[in-house]
Chain A
């Protein structure tokens, strides 16, 4: 993805458009625009980082300057004393369950849809494609209705189970399994391995790239999930980072200007995703385009 292997065009007619040296005015302007956008994209995060260590007064007096005039960790101490650790623990727990579930169930279903012959398979695949097209926000209230009816409202199970599988993940895994050569499984079959055994010990290990992509997408998706946790629980003890931190803004601290506190909370919830992002960047970019090409 990074480097295109384009040979430079025959140096015939239009020299001005493609300057040889990086010093022409056009090139300078070009980089200036790119840098301007980079600043627009990075500066908010720099401000966030700096303001988290400021005092309340400092944050509103010098908003443009990210460098605190008095370093203060008051915001972080305040968070540690409040419910923040609990929210963090809930987010970790829910995210781990959801990610594990999605990786396992999505690849099971993806494998069956790609390789096993069973009655109704094509219909089921069409259904998975249709499900991907249902807008999530439309389902918010309906999901609450069912969770309530099943007695799963306000419980970890209600927060986790509905997220355990996702149609897009099934689709990604199916596409991957279609590309695995059939002969591999045939060999295992001949040796007498069961279907699950063939799947688990032969085909799944080959799907590592797809599994990594799915793991990362699931992690990021469930860590950042907000609407589902709004409608699946009410108890403050079940707050995840998203709902908890959102309550900092909309609730008791909403009216005051406690920006260092809010930005520190936002910063802390960004760190895990940022770590995963910078470690697995390649897979992120791949997943972003892979999941997108739906039907």
Chain B
């Protein structure tokens, strides 16, 4: 279609209209170009400069009084011993555990909800879909406040736990890591006096014991909130993909004698692979950017266990006026997100070509492998 116009139009009306169309084209895109340029491209360049400078937030970062410090800001948060590095590494640790729990949980929940809602004879389908999706469209501020109440020490969750005789924790005041708690409960490690082997050796400014803490109790409440809110969006994506799977494919598998589990494992899931990739990528990108919930619910407390790089870069710049370090953190976060997305793309592409096709063939041959 496009090629046809390219050939046709200049022949029908020589020169002029193309010229005018070119002008019109640029006029049409001008607002978008100007706004994106001003508030996206230039900011990145300016932040790149600030991350290499010692600007303290006073006056213009471009003035001659601001000094160029090279990679000092990056060194302070990556290689030099000190509070800046241990805070940044703590935020990376926290965010890592957050990603490790949120991404699989939200994907599984979304997939599970989508698979159940996709059943042909489901009653009240649209009611369930609405219920699961609604939290995704509401404001993160509003939803966070609701969860602050739900998880408050005299809140809904603890009241429910009390009914079954469990004494719930003070969710947003409890900095204990659940991995450490678990190790303590199992009697492997005494959480009050951790072994010297773990506390005396450190990597990047944090001891092994700190790295291995797991998400804190407070972080778990935030994780519950985020999984609860985001699963609905991803459920819709899975639902859309499920409805694109031709009926015949599943039917023929069924006629071949595949059980429900086999159909899911060898027919449905392989066909959902592109959506799975999308959901995992969006999940990874989103979870490394967690900001709103931290800003409203915990501000990095208790004991810095809900500090995340996005939130830390914000406070480092706006509260401590260490603009160089704050912007440097933004760029490192950017690099992490890009690297993980590329890694995941490479990882999933590697397997997506060969394996499922082979499996599907086995199944088609009537095998129940």
Contacts and interface: CB of A to CB of B under 8 A. Distances in A.
Given A116-B21, A266-B142, A288-B233, A142 B295 contact: no
A281 to B, nearest CB: 7
Interface in A123-159: 124, 127-128, 131, 134-146, 149-150
Interface string A186-208: 00000000011001000000000
B138 A270 contact: yes
B6 interface: yes
Given A112-B24, A112-B28, A64 B141 contact: no
B46 A4 contact: no
Contacts of A270: 138-139, 142
Interface string B30-66: 0111011011101110110010000000001110000
Contact of B39 (A128, A143, A250): A143
A111 interface: yes
A196 B282 CA distance: 36
Nearest to A31: B123
B148 A118 contact: no
A79 to B, nearest CB: 13
A252 interface: no
Nearest to B26: A118
A137 B310 contact: yes
A245 B145 contact: yes
Given A141-B317, A161-B39, A162-B35, A42 B148 contact: no
B285 A135 contact: yes
Contacts of A262: 145, 148-149
B130 A281 contact: yes
A117 B21 CA distance: 6
A68 to B, nearest CB: 14
B209 interface: no
A267 B146 CA distance: 9
Interface residues of A, number: 108
Interface string A25-61: 0000011011001101111110110010000000111
Contacts of B149: 47-48, 51, 59, 63, 259, 262-263
A34 B327 contact: no
Contacts of B145: 245, 249, 262-263, 265-266
B177 to A, nearest CB: 25
A10 interface: yes
A137 B237 contact: no
Contacts of A277: 134, 137
Majority DSSP secondary structure for residues of A touching B: helix
Nearest to B157: A63
Given A195-B24, A273-B138, A162 B39 contact: yes
A84 interface: no
A246 B141 contact: yes
Interface in B252-269: 254-255, 257, 259-260
A61 B158 CA distance: 12
Nearest to A106: B32
B202 interface: no
Nearest to B341: A133
B71 interface: no
A64 B26 contact: no
A59 B132 CA distance: 26
Contacts of B170: none
A6 B257 contact: no
B247 A7 contact: yes
Contact of A139 (B40, B118, B317): B40
Interface string B104-139: 000000000100101010010111111111111111
Given A109-B31, A124-B29, 6 more contacts: A2-B126, A9-B255, A170-B32, A199-B28, A224-B141, A284-B137
25 contacts: A2-B125, A17-B260, A37-B113, A37-B128, A42-B131, A48-B146, A61-B154, A64-B159, A105-B31, A109-B28, A109-B29, A117-B6, A118-B23, A135-B288, A137-B289, A138-B337, A141-B313, A142-B47, A144-B317, A226-B141, A227-B291, A242-B141, A257-B152, A262-B148, A266-B139
Interface of A: 1-2, 4-10, 12-14, 17, 22, 30-31, 33-34, 37-38, 40-45, 47-48, 51, 59-61, 63-64, 105-106, 108-109, 111-113, 116-119, 121, 124, 127-128, 131, 134-146, 149-150, 161-162, 164-165, 167, 170, 182, 195-196, 199, 220, 223-224, 226-227, 230-231, 241-242, 245-246, 249-250, 257, 259, 262-263, 265-267, 269-270, 273-274, 277-278, 281, 284-285, 288-289, 292-293
